Chain A
Amino acid sequence: MVGALNTYVTPSGFWNPILWLIAFLISLLLAYIIWSRGEKSYKKETEQVKPFFAGNVIESKERAHVRAHNIYWGFVEALRPYYMALKRIHTGDVNDYVAWFIGVTSFMLIIYFLWGVKP
């Protein structure tokens, strides 16, 4: 047991997973104690369990599931120009793949020629 308790030291910090897990489980126990004092029952098959949709009924389960196609609208909207450029670069065309490869090789050739080796 002691072996597991040694902390995992990094250059400027430390971290002990076992202790963290024990503390987490005990606080989970504390939360469960508070939680268990509450009321457990609820009316199972009634209208109560239907999702709240401002009083209306959701026709089918299909429509109750919000699809994920633009889940991070806020984030993508804020970085609109970045994402447009990114979509343009990913063409999926074999010629562009090879072109990128040759381009980066020649770029790195220049970089290594300039600073490649210690003078």
Chain B
Amino acid sequence: MTEFIHHIPALIIVIPLLWGFATPLIGRLSKKGMYAWVVTALAITEALTIAQIYLVLTQGTQVYVMGGATYNTTIPPDSGGIPVRIILTVDAFSAFMAFTAATVTLAGGIYSITSEEGTSGESMYYTLLLLMLSGMLGMVMTGDLFNFFVFLEINSLASAGLIAYRVGKGISVEAAFKYAIISSVGALIYLFGVGILYGEYDALNLAMVASRMQFTGLDKVVMALFTVALAMKAGSVPLHYWVPDAYGKAPGAISAILVTASQASLYALFRVCFSLFGLGSNTLTTGWFLISLGLLSMFVGVTMALIQTDIKRLMAYHAISQTGYMLLGVGVGLATLGTAAFSQYGLQAMEGGIFHIINHAMYKGLLFLTAGAVIYRLGTSDLNKMGGLAHNMKYTTVFFMIGALSIAGIPPFNGFASKLMIYESTYLFNPILSIIAIVVSVLTLASFVKVFHSAFMGPKLYDVKEVPKAMLVGMAILTSLIILFGLFPNIAIQYLVGPAAKALANQAAYISSVMGGA
């Protein structure tokens, strides 16, 4: 049994990959069998990520060498101190991100069992879904720069295919086209940076390159290429134009999972800023880069969301503005890295930002699922054509209210816990930051009140039934996590978020976990 435990990082990536490609075969046998097949795959991945979090908390960073003599000989004896193979380094932060991705995909998978029932090409849908999950998990857990590029491309291609899955008179194909173009351009610019780093330091492993980094002129070019390409993939404002198109036109559960896909790129942006360049680079500049991205994303995202009339496009703009919160929180942590202020409020700001990642994944996933439920019943996603759904879609209304209240940061729910941490630590760095953050949280509340009014309130215009059971189960999973993190933020901080923030801030530990042998 102990042997199996060491292979968990690899299993987490491989299970969705293999299980995904086997789905069409099972689909040919029996529809029910395929559903069970997909849900077991997602459930196993979820269980493995939870086991991985437990392992990382107890035994520290997990390292797994692909094809090495034993699972953790990062530096083979004859290689003269260079980690040769692809190494998965899973520290607390990446285990945390893997858990977020697996949970939302599990909820999305269960949700899409009924929402995609009887539609064309259903088995391919699940293959792409599992492929997307393995891409995300690979991006989050790999310690190798080029390997990250490969998983990034897997994820982008799979999600582009999924966005265009319901052609919908060509509009979702246009959205998928724009998404695919801009994400492949970003990935190529990232690959260009990887090439420069390989040319300079003759190594591809992130820890190896970080230990050899001398911050030459070329490294500044690489910093620019990496940070901008990954900021674009994470959906921050000056480069956010693909987000409303892609999330707005993706089928039901896919936009919920796309949120975690862009959060995996956000993880990569933080990993690059903290572990690759760390204290050598002028953390004030990179910190202020993240903070200004955060402020722009927050304000522009929410003001654009106020005037939208399409329900999913409105929620997509909110995904951008909530990403702004994470960038703001972690940006303040980065800006104060290494100074005395870091221990006073920098680490808490990072904890707030990272806690916001999982909170956002939960309630944004829930909101996209409720929007999918409304579209599943009404067929239209235009807010002006909806009305009075609360009369007979009771559960969806309650789920939507919980999601809307937690995204607006109303006390008992989880949005408030992480926003409180962000407000009360970033204002020490600069008071303007948290003033804008509080104003943006009310504007978020305003736009969700708009959706709540036009979709659910008002007289009964349509006699629609409640959505089928599986969709409700998918939403219930996310709601229970929202309420759990809302009422017990201390437990989430102590076990999930605290170690993740410390692991991210501590570059030396990351390098020594790979370079320092076992």
Residues of A in contact with B (beta carbons under 8 Å apart): 4, 6-8, 10-13, 15, 17-18, 20-21, 24, 61-62, 64-69, 71-72, 75-76, 79, 82-83, 86, 90, 92, 94, 96-98, 100-101, 103-105, 108-109, 111-113, 115-118
Does the CB pair A15–B420 fall under 8 Å? Answer: yes
Query: Can you name the residue of chain B whose Cβ is closest to the Cβ of A79?
Result: B303
A104 vs B228: C-alpha distance in the bound complex, in angstroms? 7
A60 to chain B, nearest CB (A): 9
- Taking a contact as CB atoms closer than 8 A, the residue among A67, A104, A111 that contacts B285 in the complex is A111
Does the CB pair A24–B412 fall under 8 Å? Answer: yes
Q: Assuming the A-B contacts A8-B489, A61-B461, are A13 and B182 also in contact, with contact meaning beta carbons closer than 8 angstroms in the complex?
A: no
Interface stretch, picked from B117-125, B446-454, B503-511, is B446-454
Does the CB pair B280–A83 fall under 8 Å? Answer: no
Q: Is the interface of A mostly helix, strand, loop or mixed?
A: helix
Does the CB pair B453–A71 fall under 8 Å? Answer: yes
A68 neighbours in B (Cβ, 8 Å): 309, 383-384, 450-451, 453-454
A61 vs B388: C-alpha distance in the bound complex, in angstroms? 10
The verdict on B8 contacting chain A, using a C-beta distance below 8 Å, is no
Q: Which among A15, A20, A97, A103 has the greatest number of chain B C-beta atoms within 10 A? A: A97
A83 vs B232: C-alpha distance in the bound complex, in angstroms? 23
- Taking a contact as CB atoms closer than 8 A, the residue among B182, B224, B348, B489 that contacts A105 in the complex is B224
B215 neighbours in A (Cβ, 8 Å): 116-117
| Known contacts A10-B348, A112-B285, then 6 further A-B pairs from the complex at CB < 8 Å, ordered by chain A residue | A62-B461, A69-B309, A72-B446, A94-B182, A103-B238, A112-B220
A12 neighbours in B (Cβ, 8 Å): 345, 424-425, 427-428
Q: Assuming the A-B contacts A17-B411, A64-B458, A105-B224, are A92 and B241 also in contact, with contact meaning beta carbons closer than 8 angstroms in the complex?
A: yes
Number of chain B interface residues as a range = 35 or more
User: What is the 8 Å Cβ interface bit string for chain B, positions 194-234, against chain A (1 contact, 0 not)?
Assistant: 00000000000000000000010101110111011100100
A65 vs B215: C-alpha distance in the bound complex, in angstroms? 62
Does the CB pair B181–A97 fall under 8 Å? Answer: yes
A116 vs B348: C-alpha distance in the bound complex, in angstroms? 25
Q: Assuming the A-B contacts A86-B304, A97-B182, A105-B228, are A65 and B221 also in contact, with contact meaning beta carbons closer than 8 angstroms in the complex?
A: no
Does the CB pair A100–B241 fall under 8 Å? Answer: yes
A113 vs B216: C-alpha distance in the bound complex, in angstroms? 10
- Taking a contact as CB atoms closer than 8 A, the residue among A4, A20, A104, A112 that contacts B488 in the complex is A4
Does the CB pair B186–A117 fall under 8 Å? Answer: no
- Taking a contact as CB atoms closer than 8 A, the residue among B182, B289, B487, B490 that contacts A101 in the complex is B182
Q: CB within 8 Å of A: which of B267-305? A: 280-282, 284-285, 289, 300, 303-304
User: What is the 8 Å Cβ interface bit string for chain B, positions 224-257, against chain A (1 contact, 0 not)?
Assistant: 1101110010000011011001000000000000
A72 neighbours in B (Cβ, 8 Å): 306-307, 446, 450
Does the CB pair A117–B493 fall under 8 Å? Answer: no
Q: How many contacts between A and B, using CB within 8 angstroms? A: 165
Q: Assuming the A-B contacts A64-B459, A112-B223, are A118 and B182 also in contact, with contact meaning beta carbons closer than 8 angstroms in the complex?
A: no
B232 neighbours in A (Cβ, 8 Å): 101, 104
- Taking a contact as CB atoms closer than 8 A, the residue among A7, A13, A101 that contacts B186 in the complex is A101
A116 vs B344: C-alpha distance in the bound complex, in angstroms? 25
Q: Assuming the A-B contacts A8-B490, A97-B182, A118-B282, are A17 and B417 also in contact, with contact meaning beta carbons closer than 8 angstroms in the complex?
A: yes
Does the CB pair A21–B412 fall under 8 Å? Answer: yes
B276 to chain A, nearest CB (A): 13
Does the CB pair B421–A108 fall under 8 Å? Answer: no
Query: Can you name the residue of chain A whose Cβ is closest to the Cβ of B449?
Result: A71
B227 to chain A, nearest CB (A): 7
Does the CB pair B486–A17 fall under 8 Å? Answer: yes
- Taking a contact as CB atoms closer than 8 A, the residue among B242, B307, B420 that contacts A10 in the complex is B420
Listed A/B pairs (15) with beta-carbon separation below 8 Å: A11-B345, A12-B345, A12-B425, A18-B488, A21-B487, A61-B460, A61-B461, A67-B454, A72-B450, A90-B304, A92-B245, A100-B239, A101-B185, A105-B229, A116-B223
Q: Which among A4, A6, A68, A115 has the greatest number of chain B C-beta atoms within 10 A? A: A68
B430 to chain A, nearest CB (A): 14
User: What is the 8 Å Cβ interface bit string for chain B, positions 457-476, against chain A (1 contact, 0 not)?
Assistant: 01111000000000000000
A6 neighbours in B (Cβ, 8 Å): 490
Does the CB pair B242–A97 fall under 8 Å? Answer: yes
Q: Assuming the A-B contacts A10-B348, A86-B300, A104-B238, are A98 and B181 also in contact, with contact meaning beta carbons closer than 8 angstroms in the complex?
A: yes
- Taking a contact as CB atoms closer than 8 A, the residue among A7, A10, A66, A103 that contacts B421 in the complex is A10
B186 neighbours in A (Cβ, 8 Å): 101
A92 neighbours in B (Cβ, 8 Å): 241, 245
B459 neighbours in A (Cβ, 8 Å): 61, 64-65
A62 neighbours in B (Cβ, 8 Å): 461
Does the CB pair B487–A18 fall under 8 Å? Answer: yes
Does the CB pair A10–B425 fall under 8 Å? Answer: yes
The verdict on B6 contacting chain A, using a C-beta distance below 8 Å, is no
The verdict on B331 contacting chain A, using a C-beta distance below 8 Å, is no
Q: Assuming the A-B contacts A69-B309, A101-B239, A108-B227, are A82 and B303 also in contact, with contact meaning beta carbons closer than 8 angstroms in the complex?
A: yes
The verdict on B10 contacting chain A, using a C-beta distance below 8 Å, is no
A83 neighbours in B (Cβ, 8 Å): 303, 307
Q: Which among A61, A64, A72, A105 has the greatest number of chain B C-beta atoms within 10 A? A: A105
- Taking a contact as CB atoms closer than 8 A, the residue among B242, B421, B425, B487 that contacts A17 in the complex is B487
Query: Can you name the residue of chain A whose Cβ is closest to the Cβ of B489?
Result: A8
The verdict on B177 contacting chain A, using a C-beta distance below 8 Å, is yes
A116 vs B281: C-alpha distance in the bound complex, in angstroms? 6
B309 neighbours in A (Cβ, 8 Å): 68-69
User: What is the 8 Å Cβ interface bit string for chain B, positions 424-459, against chain A (1 contact, 0 not)?
Assistant: 110110000000000000000010001101100011
A113 neighbours in B (Cβ, 8 Å): 217, 220
A104 neighbours in B (Cβ, 8 Å): 228, 232, 238-239
- Taking a contact as CB atoms closer than 8 A, the residue among A20, A61, A109, A111 that contacts B412 in the complex is A20
B338 to chain A, nearest CB (A): 10
